[in-house]
Amino acid sequence: MLSKAKLWLGLALSTLMFWSAGLHAAWELNMPRGVTQMSRDTYGLHMTIFWWVVAIGIVVFGAMLWSIIHHRKSKGAKPATFHESTKVEIVWTLIPFAILIMMAIPATRVLTDAYDTTGSELDIQITGYQWRWEYTYLRENMDEEEVSFFSILSTSREEISNAIEKSENYLLDVDKPLVIPTDTRVRFLMTSADVIHAWWVPDFAIKKDTIPGFINETWVVVEEPGIYRGQCAELCGIEHGFMPIVVHALPPEEYQAWYAEQQQAAAEIRELASAEMSMEDAMAQGEQIYNQNCVACHQANGQGMPPVFPAVAGSDKATGDRLITMDTLVNGVPGTAMAAYGRQLNPIQLAAVITYVRNAFGNDTGDLVQPTEVNAYIQEGQ
């Protein structure tokens, strides 16, 4: 009976194997060593404790197996009568205790090191949002142009719904990665605008919660230039599985060049925001922004998922007074999942998406909202 069951299991497994051969074969078994001193220390601790438990396992399971083989009734084993020994109990209390102390010492050292956030050369604020990350480079001089941007999943919805083939970095690609210099002590200040998220990049051995109302700190010195990927690690709502992290570590000179470019781009956007936008431009850009930012709740057809996520198609707030639509987008609806996009999107993007929701899904109001108008609205609010 048993062998029959095994046969079936074997058959089922090999069929499956054959069938899934088309998928990426990746049999990664262990934690990455990573690219920082901290990640290598962590890996070292992980392997040390791993070999300790393997050794203990061999002794304990070995003794068990030996008893199971030799001390069975079918082999005529007669039960012994011993049933206690204070000496033995003391021995097997003290040995594990000693092993634990040997583990605790290096663990304490590494942890203390992880908590030393002094001496940073660059500070970056990371803010978690449902479901994106905001990276803000803290300036020393407030007259400088600020570099701050959002980083959102760029894997297409078609890939997720299996309509088209999945790309190599499926679910691990963003529109705009965080960029940091190598060989530089970078400090991250972490917080959240809504629920708790956790920022995790395995190659750095950093995982820290971003919590509304708190600022957590951690630091990193990346030694090798490269692209490092991670994900949000704390359940944060519907799209929790879809908020990846991508970090580009560049050599310091390249980083400086990138940073200067970003400052310039920020200045340009401020300029552009004073220009007029055409209806076609606004609708095209608005659709793109809607698909990136809003579909998770309001759905691609604008019907939402009532009652939690209302429809924008035909809704009063999207078809009525344009100021109300603007208010909903810029300030969000406090106490609900509708976030304030006033910071997340720039005035051009806001104008585009407002125009889009007021004209798409049969909301044909014919209204075109300009960046200047949004900008004025935001300034007024402050």
Partner 1 sequence: MSAAHDHHHGPAKGISRWLFTTNHKDIGSMYLWFSFAMFLLGGTFALVIRAELFQPGLQFVEPNFFNQMTTMHGLIMVFGAVMPAFVGLANWMIPLMIGAPDMALPRMNNWSFWILPFAFAMMVSTLFMEGGGPNFGWTFYAPLSTTYGPPSTTFFIFAVHILGASSIMGAINVIATILNMRAPGMTLMKMPLFVWTWLITAYLLIAVMPVLAGVVTMMLFDIHFGTAFFDAAGGGDPVLFQHLFWFFGHPEVYIMILPAFGIISAIIPTFARKRLFGYDSMVYATASIAFLSFIVWAHHMFTVGMPLAGQLFFMYATMLIAVPTGVKVFNWVATMFRGSMTFETPMLFAIAFVVLFTIGGFTGVMLAITPVDFQYHDTYFVVAHFHYVLVPGAVFSIMAATYYWLPKWTGYMYDETLGKLHFWLSFIGVNILFFPQHFLGLAGMPRRIPDYALQFADFNWISSVGGFLFGFSQLILLFVIIKCVRGGKKATAQVWEGAQGLEWTVPSPAPYHTFETPPDPTLIKAQ
Binding to ligand HEC (CB under 6 A) within 266-295 occurs at: 290, 293-294
For residue 170, state whether it binds partner 1 (rule: CB under 8 A).
Answer: yes
Q: Which does 328 bind (CB under 5 to 8 A by kind): Cu ion, ligand HEC, partner 1, none?
A: ligand HEC
For residue 41, state whether it binds partner 1 (rule: CB under 8 A).
Answer: yes
The type of residue at 173 is D
Minimum Å gap between C-beta 304 and ligand HEC is 8
CA distances from 78 to 72, 75, 81, 83, 97 (A): 8, 9, 10, 15, 34
How many residues belong to the site for Cu ion (CB under 5 A)? 4
> What's the rounded Cα separation, in Å, for the pair 60 and 144?
64
Whether the CB-CB separation of 228 and 62 falls below 8 Å is answered with: no
For residue 312, state whether it binds ligand HEC (rule: CB under 6 A).
Answer: yes
For residue 237, state whether it binds partner 1 (rule: CB under 8 A).
Answer: yes
For residue 67, state whether it binds partner 1 (rule: CB under 8 A).
Answer: yes
Assign 161 to helix, strand or coil. coil
Partners of 209 in the beta sheet? 198
Minimum Å gap between C-beta 287 and partner 1 is 22
Q: Which does 341 bind (CB under 5 to 8 A by kind): ligand HEC, Cu ion, partner 1, none?
A: ligand HEC
- Candidates 151, 192, 325, 363; binder of ligand HEC (CB under 6 A) is 325
291: left (phi over 0), alpha (psi -120 to 50) or beta: alpha
What are phi and psi for residue 133, nearest 5 degrees? Answer: -115, 140
CA distances from 72 to 65, 66, 76, 78 (A): 11, 10, 7, 8
Q: What is the token pair recorded at 290?
A: 């809607």
Minimum Å gap between C-beta 54 and ligand HEC is 45
Residue numbers at the binding site for Cu ion (CB under 5 A): 197, 232, 236, 243
Residue numbers at the binding site for ligand HEC (CB under 6 A): 130, 290, 293-294, 296-298, 309-310, 312, 315-318, 325, 328-329, 333, 336-338, 341, 353, 357
